[in-house]
């Protein structure tokens, strides 16, 4: 798609400014992460940077999409399938083909087979593998998530968690939407934390870690349940690593937090925005004028360049 | 021996209660009560009803919600899309906390008083 250069951000912040303000900005930005320290440059600069190897290691790119909510058809988005197709078009237009895609949950609106089918069909057009973790909307079948697990979690452990390595980076997919309890938020559970402990135990602290899950692993806003009850137990296991990047969806907006060597990045939805925490009576689809919808939706590409090279995140809107 | 004796009394009381149940006078069912689900909130959040009351939850949000008893068993709705509703008749007295299993910060309570 040629439109990314036709819709430049209103403001062109410098690296530091963009890092500080990225939280609510509707702009495309490249995030970089080196030794756990995030920085960012604009999307255009990112494209210009090309594929320069860093630290002698050939970099690779992967993509994060989130909250496609296939089946959603209410204000402000009458067709979440259409906007998901636009997101896929953005992915196909990336300067370098991603190694894979991470979908951080809420693939569907109501866990219906046809919704999952359509999501799969649309994503297939990218020609690359997608790794999934479920959102709460993907757990609404009779079996409370069994349909999702049967479709996407064949090699997963427990309720669907798993890990894999790619070019020296360790990727961990966590489940934060299973067995939720009254009055609580997202939840990992002791079995999953035990598994995570074993999964990380023998890894060198120098290995970059990418954790991906649906609900943010830090408490963004408790009154709306935007956090995970027992996330601290997982974070405690991750603190010894020099570079940890936590990617999630759920809140349909870009927010970032750095805590030591751990950086947290929430992602945009491809379906609809949600309000800034505390600025509305409740979470849920935020009504925006139709001409503004696309600037609230987006995809994220992440570039990994080990050694001195940073792990870079580019948030691109569908505008 | 003493324990056995108490046990017998309890069994007898239970049998008596069961046998009396069908003989209870047929009261008109209490008026149904509606709880709205709006802005990720159950309204009213706490309701007090008498035994036999049917409570209906109606989802006015653009987001699906569920109505699930805190014990996950006493009552449990399917996912309710916009305008969908779920009804449950409370036949025993007690306090029944419930929540939305999709958005667990949403909680409510039904207090059921004996007739």
A positions 280-299 inside 8 Å of B (CB): 281-285
CB contact under 8 A, B41 and A137: no
What 3-state class would DSSP assign to B60?
coil
In whole angstroms, what is the distance from residue B66 CA to residue A76 CA? 23
- CB-based contacts of A86: which residues, under 8 Å, 6+ apart? A270, A294, A297, A318
Cross-chain Cβ contact B39/A224 below 8 Å? no
Q: Which residues from B are below 8 Å from A223, CB to CB?
A: 105
Find the CB nearest B63 among A139, A181, A284: A284
Q: Are B98 and A185 within 8 A, CB to CB?
A: no
Give pTM, 2 decimals: 0.82
- pLDDT, tens digit only, all 319 positions of chain A: 333 333 333 334 444 433 333 333 333 334 444 433 334 433 334 444 443 433 334 589 999 999 999 999 999 999 999 999 999 999 999 998 999 999 999 999 999 999 999 999 999 999 999 999 999 999 999 999 999 999 999 889 999 999 999 998 999 999 999 999 999 999 999 999 999 999 999 999 999 999 999 999 999 999 999 999 999 999 999 999 999 999 999 999 999 999 999 999 999 999 999 999 999 999 999 999 999 999 999 999 999 886 544 578 999 999 9
In this predicted structure, what is the pLDDT of residue A22? 36
pLDDT given at position A212: 98
Question: Which two tokens mark A199?
Answer: 């999964």
Chain A residues within an 8 Å CB radius of B64: 109-110, 137, 140
3-state secondary structure A284-317: CCCCCCHHHHHHHCEEEEEEECCCCCCEEEEEEE
Find the helix or strand (DSSP H, E) in which A32 lies. strand A29-34
pLDDT at B30: 93
Interface probe, candidates B60, B74, B79, B107, chain A, greatest A C-beta count within 10 A: B79
The Cα A244–Cα A255 span in angstroms is 16
- Burial, B34: exposed, middle or buried (Cβ in 10 Å; 0-12, 13-18, 19+)? middle
Contact call for A182 and B41, based on CB within 8 A:
no
Res A301: pLDDT: 95
Q: How far is CA A181 from CA A71, A108, A188, in A?
A: 26, 22, 11
Q: How far is CA A116 from each of CA A71, A161, A311, rounded to the nearest angstrom?
A: 9, 19, 30
pLDDT of amino acid B27: 62
User: What letters, b where the CB count within 10 A reaches 16 and e where it falls short, cover A193-228?
Assistant: bebbeebbeeeeeebbbbbbbbbbbbebbeebbbbb
B11-27: pLDDT as tens digits: 444 444 444 444 445 56
pLDDT digit string, tens, across residues B24-81: 455 678 999 999 999 999 999 999 999 999 999 999 999 999 999 999 999 999 999 9
Return the number of other C-beta atoms located less than 10 Å from residue B97's C-beta: 16
Give the pLDDT confidence score for residue A307 in this predicted structure.
53
Distance from CA of B48 to the nearest CA of A (A): 20
Is B105 a residue whose pLDDT tops 50?
A: yes
A-B contacts (CB, under 8 Å): 57
What the block records as the tokens of A221 is: 């806003």
d(CA A230, CA A176): 10
């Amino acid at each position: 798609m040629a439109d990314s250069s036709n819709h430049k951000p209103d403001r062109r912040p410098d690296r530091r400014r963009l890092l500080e303000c990225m939280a609510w900005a509707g702009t495309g930005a490249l995030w970089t992460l080196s030794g756990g320290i995030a920085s960012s440059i604009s999307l255009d600069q990112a494209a210009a940077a090309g594929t320069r190897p860093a630290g002698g290691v050939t970099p690779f790119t992967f993509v994060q999409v989130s909250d496609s909510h296939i089946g959603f058809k209410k204000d402000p988005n009458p067709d979440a399938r259409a906007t998901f197709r636009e997101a896929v078009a953005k992915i196909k237009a990336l300067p370098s083909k991603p190694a894979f895609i991470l979908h951080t949950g809420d693939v569907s609106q109501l866990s219906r087979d046809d919704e999952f089918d359509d999501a799969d069909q649309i994503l297939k057009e990218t020609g690359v593998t997608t790794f999934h973790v479920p959102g709460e909307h993907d757990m609404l079948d009779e079996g409370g998530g069994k349909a999702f697990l049967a479709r996407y979690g064949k090699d997963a452990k427990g309720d669907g968690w798993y890990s894999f390595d790619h070019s020296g980076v360790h990727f961990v997919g966590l489940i934060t939407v299973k067995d939720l309890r009254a009055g609580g938020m997202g939840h990992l559970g002791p079995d999953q934390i035990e598994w995570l402990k074993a999964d990380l135990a023998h890894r060198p602290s120098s290995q970059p870690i990418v954790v991906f899950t649906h609900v943010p692993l830090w408490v963004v806003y408790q009154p709306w349940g935007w956090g995970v009850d027992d996330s601290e137990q997982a974070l405690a296991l991750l603190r010894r690593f020099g570079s940890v990047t936590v990617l999630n969806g759920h809140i349909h907006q870009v927010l970032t937090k750095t805590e030591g060597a751990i950086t947290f990045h929430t992602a945009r939805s491809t379906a609809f925005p949600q309000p800034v925490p505390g600025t509305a009576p409740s979470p849920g689809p935020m009504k925006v004028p139709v001409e503004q919808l696309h600037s609230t939706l987006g995809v994220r590409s992440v570039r990994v360049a080990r050694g001195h090279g940073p792990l870079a995140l580019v948030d691109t809107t569908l505008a | 021996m003493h324990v056995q004796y108490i046990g017998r009394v309890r069994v007898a009381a239970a049998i008596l209660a069961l046998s009396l149940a069908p003989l209870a006078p047929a009261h008109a069912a209490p008026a149904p009560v509606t709880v709205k689900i709006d802005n990720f909130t159950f309204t009213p959040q706490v309701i007090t009803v008498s035994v036999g009351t049917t409570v209906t939850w109606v989802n006015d949000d653009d987001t699906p919600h569920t109505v699930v008893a805190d014990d996950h068993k006493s009552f449990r709705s399917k996912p309710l899309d916009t305008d969908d509703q779920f009804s449950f008749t409370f036949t025993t007295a007690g306090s029944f906390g419930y929540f939305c299993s999709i958005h667990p910060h949403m909680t409510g309570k039904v207090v059921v008083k004996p007739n």
